Structure 1
């Protein structure tokens, strides 16, 4: 970018840089040709609901909020508390200056770093990866978890000059970012190029943008061949599917139509390329409530979300600050409310008290290679540090004058486009279609169901599917699932959750066991899913075991009572019968009152996929997952059986 700064632009940037009391933000949004300048006063608040969207006179006003990770405690989730403030810049002036003029006016001096390096060395981080895989994923605590480490260094420079210098470098050298920004408030400086919009809400449409899979460009740049190898990786593909599932849980909680997925797409940046989907749905909620229900992105936390926060607290020794939080811009709209635009705070450098901090994390799954995840954190840190000029940037090969024009984006290559599109053949069509009520004939219209949530918000997706089948559905947290409330429901769906179904010390597991047993003893309609399926199996005398390799985000083609179905599984534990057994007589069950039980199991291992008997059905897989291509058909079959 070139150009001579207009006097007004130079004066504005000089004024902001010189005033130690000024609070402001500089933002360039994806595809924008101007730098937005937001100036105002800072207000720190306790809760998202306290974000001051109206002024003293009651009129709507614009607010930019920095939301720290500790704010997940509003949802009842665990987090180290570092007192990072929920900081609100109440915007008094919002102007725009041409991009080239802004670049020319911004400082370009070199900002040296001292004593630079990761806070955890590679061996320490690799050891944490091994522990998370064995102690958390291997024990059924979840499908994937993001554990961070920080690149830290000393900075002996004026923080405002450093921030503006790094912001200029990002504008000149980074590409593909959703937001490129510098946010400067007393005691806190954040400069970054976030590739990912966590959530936005405009004109009643909520959009989320799950991104996962990180391709670090080789020396000389990415090619079709190297990108094809990356896109063919099972690990990278499954990581993306798992975060889409997790964000659909959030979408189903805030959108009346559940959310629809489009993609996958490539997010191409200067040193990294990611894969992504886009989710859209309709909502009438206050944007602060939308933000609260979607804290935070599974791409930087893990799934299921509540347990991921507990795992992060166990394995990260220090608080996250703003890493994996959001920068949320609330802008007044014509309807008298506010639109929301909230990118994730990743690919961001923080400067406080003379110390630079660049937090980065890797997504750990069942087949993660510890040193592969170490390498991923190096790549992500280098992406930020190279873009701001703190380390040497990637070498750019300049073609000769008589060579052809530079190649188009890799996403435009037909082979790459075909490879990306082929991923959708594995996914449930239900979540790629419009989900407005009445879109299909509902077989269970007028019947009432209660879904008991065992701390896995897959229940929001499951409830949406049940509503699509015509049921009137209420979701009840396990701690509030009192007998009278459940007895009033025609169908109880005892939901999935993390953990060991044999854990007698867990109040959650004990309560889910009570829910299952009560419905069985009453001979009243019950559908048990995943954890609850295991509890049901244990109750009727089917043994439980641990899988040799956890099925976290695994798609299997299975026989469910004479019909083949492609189903997604997220389980570490399994019910298991003698291979070949398809039926249990009352004398063979621990609970003879349930009568005869049909068994759908793997013919070789005996791992049980589903059970059904008089008035009940259960399933190990997640019929609501995008990995369950036949999920809706199977759900309808099992509900019909339970209600028969």
Structure 2
């Protein structure tokens, strides 16, 4: 199996770490449930890490205590409130295990010590029946994606059971089963974190996905999407090749890569680089994945806050995905789609960081999926979700949630385990698989594939030093736009739409994309775009509008905006941009139409610009331009936009009145 670069676990450190091989694990297994502990096996490791310590609950990620000891934080989905996002708030605590002792045990020794017999559990079914979940899928496609709310959304449901076994015995049994019957996990783990006066937090899982790691100044994220459900008879070469050719599965992965590249652009001043793709094979499923990497100097707690939460378990754009989840999930998520976060002091020149030196900590944070939760009273829940896109078939998404939960359910004894991974076919070794994976990169912009520090900034005195205000309308594609504009030599700052106070001061105003219906002027975001376009045009100041803002500009100019016959969410098209064909990524449900008669309000300053339209073969506007004004429907900053930087350079020069020069490298 291919292994992703940078996935080797860092060395364990702890205050008071035990040098003895087995006693700490024995102490955990003999405990009565009052001892907080974690058992971890990280990808590529032949050892299990045993951690024990003290439990501390904190309110914010920034409060995680980094005072010289390792800390394992269990972060619930409700922490998305720290970013101002809408979520069902169940009060689940941000719980920290401050490590006071640790040891490493070989996997073989750990398996020998852990209980081999599965704990008895009574299946209770699923909280959302199959037909009801299929109905949710249809509504999300029609009412959310079909109305411009976003490109993809993840809706969860829970498989439930009950056990009367003791918590430590239950967790130890689950952990052993996952160690022996699952493959390809990024982390296999069991965590038991009791705290006085609150429910004990007990969970075990085998998650395939790294959310974020920080080590020696390098940030890495690992978006995984697309699911090949192995047949009961086992995976096959033909089956995996069919999966790798599937349009829906390909677009699903590219959408989450775009969303996580937005985060990387926020974390890393020099941007991020895409590495891969890879095929991650597990016991019952296989996924496709990329590795994203870049350099950052952020406090690891702040880096986590800026990346809550992964689009693979929420959707995109992130803020509206949380709102959509709240509309369609009636129960809070608890810890599902949150993450574990292991903060470890990094040793430099033989010295650990001093107390409170957060920058001296590394971070390893896997996403909490493929996880079973043991609640007080013996209730067991296994959440699972499917990524819903415009091509989704409800019955297929129902089956995907069952397949994703099956590995954990097997460890509970609720579904047959089968023969196990020792009889699995190595899909990565099959003829044609490596070639099919490599072929995916033909759709990606080379700008985001090359190391960012190897891409020289375009040197032009005409653009250098110009100040650009980018307005974010709840879609962080603006972070990628900012990075590319900096690459072109401009100074950028990005401000959320409801925090902008002056749109006339900067040399260039870029009105960014966002979710919603561009015709709905009652929406405060849309009303703000209308107002700012009017202010900028009236003042004769350079303006560039992207996607949603392009549609609002087109509407003001008299070009009718309508819902497209089929949403263009996460697709790459060869678009005509004023006579030049360019490969551009699109994320739009609405489009402005070319008409023979442009009817705009006479008192509208945009109408007097007589904007020149550029259209595709379906009569949908790809771009507009006029004196000091331009707009584009596509996302020039998307990883799908092979020609995006060239087009961005051209439209930026147009609105600023700068003569064209040789185009930047693609």
Superposition TM-score tier, normalisation by shorter sequence = over 0.9
Q: Tell whether 2:99 aligns with 1:91.
A: yes
CA shift, 1:607, in A, is: 0.7
Q: Please, which moves more after superposition, 252-261 or 8-17?
A: 8-17
- Contact 2:33–2:167 (CA under 8 A) maintained in structure 1: no
SS in 2 for 1:487: coil
Counterpart of 2:372 in structure 1 is 349
Counterpart of 2:173 in structure 1 is 165
Q: Please, which moves more after superposition, 222-231 or 390-399?
A: 390-399
CA shift, 1:445, in A, is: 1.2
Classify 1:398/1:143 alpha carbon distance in 2 versus 1 (closer, same or farther; 3 Å): closer
TM-score by length of 2: 0.90
Counterpart of 1:117 in structure 2 is 125
Counterpart of 1:130 in structure 2 is 138
1:232 to 242, 245, 260: 245
Classify 1:389/1:10 alpha carbon distance in 2 versus 1 (closer, same or farther; 3 Å): farther
CA shift, 1:560, in A, is: 0.5
1:334 to 331, 343, 347: 347
Question: Partners in 2 of 1:188 and 1:50 — Cα distance?
Answer: 19
- Contact 1:541–1:591 (CA under 8 A) maintained in structure 2: no
Residues 64-103 of structure 1 mapped to structure 2, 5 A cutoff = 64-103=72-111
Question: Partners in 2 of 1:568 and 1:199 — Cα distance?
Answer: 25
Classify 1:326/1:11 alpha carbon distance in 2 versus 1 (closer, same or farther; 3 Å): closer
Question: Partners in 2 of 1:552 and 1:99 — Cα distance?
Answer: 44
Question: Partners in 2 of 1:621 and 1:601 — Cα distance?
Answer: 12
1:572 to 566, 589, 610: 589
Question: Partners in 2 of 1:541 and 1:148 — Cα distance?
Answer: 42
Residues 47-58 of structure 1 mapped to structure 2, 5 A cutoff = 47-54=60-67
Counterpart of 2:614 in structure 1 is 600
Residues 377-396 of structure 1 mapped to structure 2, 5 A cutoff = 377-395=401-419
SS in 2 for 1:135: helix
Counterpart of 1:257 in structure 2 is 270
Counterpart of 2:55 in structure 1 is 42
- Contact 1:36–1:94 (CA under 8 A) maintained in structure 2: yes
1:364 to 388, 404, 414: 388
What do the CA deviations read for 1:412-465 (whole angstroms, capped 9, x no partner)?
334110011001101111100122387142342111100000000000000000
CA shift, 1:515, in A, is: 1.4
2:159 to 151, 175, 198: 151
Classify 1:34/1:261 alpha carbon distance in 2 versus 1 (closer, same or farther; 3 Å): same
CA shift, 1:8, in A, is: 5.6
Q: Tell whether 2:356 aligns with 1:320.
A: no
Counterpart of 1:480 in structure 2 is 499
Q: Tell whether 2:470 aligns with 1:470.
A: no
CA shift, 1:491, in A, is: 0.3
CA shift, 1:151, in A, is: 0.2
Question: Partners in 1 of 2:436 and 2:297 — Cα distance?
Answer: 37
Question: Partners in 1 of 2:549 and 2:620 — Cα distance?
Answer: 16
Classify 1:469/1:77 alpha carbon distance in 2 versus 1 (closer, same or farther; 3 Å): same
What do the CA deviations read for 1:194-231 (whole angstroms, capped 9, x no partner)?
10000000000000000001111112211111111111
Q: Tell whether 2:534 aligns with 1:517.
A: yes
- Contact 2:222–2:290 (CA under 8 A) maintained in structure 1: yes
What do the CA deviations read for 1:179-208 (whole angstroms, capped 9, x no partner)?
000001111111000100000000000000
Q: Tell whether 2:452 aligns with 1:435.
A: yes
Q: Please, which moves more after superposition, 12-21 or 467-476?
A: 12-21
Q: Tell whether 2:471 aligns with 1:452.
A: yes
Any stretches of 5+ residues in structure 2 without a counterpart? 1-18, 195-199, 354-359, 658-666
- Contact 1:16–1:22 (CA under 8 A) maintained in structure 2: no
CA shift, 1:586, in A, is: 10
Q: Tell whether 2:522 aligns with 1:500.
A: no
CA shift, 1:596, in A, is: 3.2
Question: Partners in 2 of 1:184 and 1:528 — Cα distance?
Answer: 50
2:427 to 401, 407, 410: 410
- Contact 2:144–2:324 (CA under 8 A) maintained in structure 1: yes
Question: Partners in 2 of 1:417 and 1:340 — Cα distance?
Answer: 31
Report the count of equivalent residues.
Answer: 621
CA shift, 1:588, in A, is: 10
Question: Partners in 1 of 2:433 and 2:603 — Cα distance?
Answer: 53
Question: Partners in 2 of 1:246 and 1:368 — Cα distance?
Answer: 19
SS in 2 for 1:542: coil
Question: Partners in 1 of 2:32 and 2:408 — Cα distance?
Answer: 27
What do the CA deviations read for 1:44-84 (whole angstroms, capped 9, x no partner)?
00000000001xxxxx2210000000000000001101111
CA shift, 1:507, in A, is: 1.2
SS in 1 for 2:387: strand
Question: Partners in 2 of 1:587 and 1:199 — Cα distance?
Answer: 50
- Contact 1:541–1:590 (CA under 8 A) maintained in structure 2: no
Classify 1:7/1:282 alpha carbon distance in 2 versus 1 (closer, same or farther; 3 Å): closer
Question: Partners in 2 of 1:618 and 1:586 — Cα distance?
Answer: 17
Any stretches of 5+ residues in structure 1 without a counterpart? 1-5, 55-59, 400-405
Question: Partners in 2 of 1:208 and 1:13 — Cα distance?
Answer: 35
Residues 247-286 of structure 1 mapped to structure 2, 5 A cutoff = 247-286=260-299
SS in 2 for 1:628: coil
What do the CA deviations read for 1:333-367 (whole angstroms, capped 9, x no partner)?
13521000000000000000211100000000011
Counterpart of 2:648 in structure 1 is 635
Counterpart of 1:555 in structure 2 is 572
What do the CA deviations read for 1:211-252 (whole angstroms, capped 9, x no partner)?
001111112211111111111110000000000000000000
Question: Partners in 2 of 1:594 and 1:294 — Cα distance?
Answer: 43
- Contact 1:25–1:37 (CA under 8 A) maintained in structure 2: yes
What do the CA deviations read for 1:129-168 (whole angstroms, capped 9, x no partner)?
1111111101000000000000011111111101000100
- Contact 2:468–2:509 (CA under 8 A) maintained in structure 1: yes
Question: Partners in 2 of 1:587 and 1:505 — Cα distance?
Answer: 18
CA shift, 1:110, in A, is: 2.3
CA shift, 1:394, in A, is: 2.9
1:200 to 209, 213, 223: 213
What do the CA deviations read for 1:545-597 (whole angstroms, capped 9, x no partner)?
1111111111110110011001111111111113xx6x979999964664332
SS in 2 for 1:436: helix
SS in 2 for 1:517: helix
SS in 1 for 2:383: strand
Question: Partners in 1 of 2:413 and 2:518 — Cα distance?
Answer: 51
Classify 1:540/1:228 alpha carbon distance in 2 versus 1 (closer, same or farther; 3 Å): same
Question: Partners in 1 of 2:479 and 2:161 — Cα distance?
Answer: 43
